[in-house]
A and B are shown apart, each in its own frame.
Chain A
Amino acid sequence: MTATPAQLAGDWTHAREEDSAGVKVYRPAGHPLPPARWRHRLELRADGTYVDHRLGADDRSPGVRGRWTVEPGRGRLRLQPDDAGAGAVLFEVVAAEPGRLTLRDA
């Protein structure tokens, strides 16, 4: 699908329980999720910046910061870290519904 930035902006947490083959489902902050040892959290802020809360070796979630965009045409979500040495991360947006974001590795 071709998503718009307004559809994608939000504070998203991975709802692993809802995944299906190849796709990952994210829920907005406040959505009740069972406790877990770790969940990926992706803050896509309305000002175009993001915080990607990665899985750290000590069970914390070090945040990678950068700018996010929706690629024209293909509608892919692109995360470009501020760290110039780090590569972009790309996701295909499978679905962007109110309260539910579905992504696939691009």
Chain B
Amino acid sequence: MSTPDAGQHRGWCGTMPVHHTMLATQPEYAIARATIENTAFQRMTARAPVHEEVVTIPVVVHVVYRAAAENVSQEQIDSQLTVLNHDFRKTNADVSKVPPVFQPLVADTRIEFRLATTDPAGGTTTGVVRRQTTRASFGQDDAVKFTARGGSDAWPADRYLNLWVCRLDRFLGYAQFPGGAAATDGVVVSHTAFGTSGTAAAPFDLGRTATHEVGHWLNLRHIWGDDGEGCSGDDFVADTPNQAGPNYGAPTFPNPSCGNAPNGDLFMNYMDYTDDRSMYMFTKGQAERMDACLAGPRSSFVPAAELRNMRAGVAEGDAAGEPVRT
């Protein structure tokens, strides 16, 4: 829906006011988000070079548990890291299920993840923090990210991807976009949707919830454009078809909406809401958008030489607002 008339929204279409309200009430966040989007757009129009070397993100997994089952095993954690590395490197076995018409879009993002080996103080670590809590479950209010609220404090967000695993009420996971507060930066995943073993439960037992949330952490938007069921929303990625609302479950190809026939929705994309077995690709446009994030708000994860390459040819007043010495 693009033209609200008479001040009324039909049913579920009117989600944009929420977004506007959040931005209006948090001006600093709004400014940071605008800068990030301007940079992403600038890189897209300048056809900025994609990064060549693999960028490896150190991960700290905070396991916050009350019941023993919520204290997920090292094996379950490792299975999640394996999925992230397959999905972001296009080495997932199910990428072969991408319909032929969409295969040219599939991206190897050249981003990898490994459990941190050095803690914030410089000591050795397994990259896993285990904390017992008295809280029966957590919601969407970021409590899990603070020790004082029964969770586990974030490690410095410019050096680690914080990944919290806990019992989540009503949600499988949620994320924070770049540009937000460091103390809450990272992703939260329900232990029942984490990794591929242990307490992971079908149909969310292939580790794709974390793939989706980390996509947000790298500034990816939902593939349907976050406008409810409308056709006017945008994910700011050029090669993804316009799509109405989220797809759930396991759709069959083709699944058209918003005049995108005959090929239909890219429901097999990680940034849709399909079941784990039904999502198995990022697009090249999404990889470029994640690159803009790595060249900008998350540049602290990129080696200096690689960062110079990524910023070459892009107009001055670069991503992070801090010039790179050459």
In contact, A64 and B140 (Cβ under 8 angstroms): no
In contact, A54 and B140 (Cβ under 8 angstroms): no
In contact, B226 and A57 (Cβ under 8 angstroms): yes
Instruction: Give the CA-CA distance A59 to B171 in the complex, in Å.
Output: 8
In contact, B11 and A90 (Cβ under 8 angstroms): yes
Instruction: Give the CA-CA distance A85 to B12 in the complex, in Å.
Output: 17
In contact, B173 and A59 (Cβ under 8 angstroms): yes
Residue B10 at the A interface, CB < 8 A? Answer: yes
In contact, A85 and B17 (Cβ under 8 angstroms): yes
In contact, B11 and A87 (Cβ under 8 angstroms): no
Residue of B17, B193, B221 with most chain A CB atoms under a 10 A cut-off: B17
Minimal beta-carbon separation of A77 from chain B (angstroms): 10
Q: Which A residues lie within 8 Å of B246 (CB)?
A: 37-38, 55
Minimal beta-carbon separation of A25 from chain B (angstroms): 14
Residue A46 at the B interface, CB < 8 A? Answer: no
Render B4-25 as a binary contact track against A, CB cut-off 8 A, 1 for contact.
1011111110110111011000
In contact, B273 and A37 (Cβ under 8 angstroms): yes
Interface residues on A, range: 20 to 34
Q: Indicate which residue in A37, A54, A59 contacts B15 across the interface (CB closer than 8 Å).
A: A54
In contact, A89 and B9 (Cβ under 8 angstroms): yes
In contact, B174 and A64 (Cβ under 8 angstroms): no
Render B219-253 as a binary contact track against A, CB cut-off 8 A, 1 for contact.
00110001010000000000000000010100000
Instruction: Give the CA-CA distance A29 to B9 in the complex, in Å.
Output: 26
Residue B160 at the A interface, CB < 8 A? Answer: no
In contact, A39 and B216 (Cβ under 8 angstroms): no
Minimal beta-carbon separation of A35 from chain B (angstroms): 6
Render A82-100 as a binary contact track against B, CB cut-off 8 A, 1 for contact.
0101111111000000000
Given known A83-B17, A83-B21, A87-B4, contact A60–B248 (CB-CB < 8 A): no
In contact, B177 and A57 (Cβ under 8 angstroms): yes
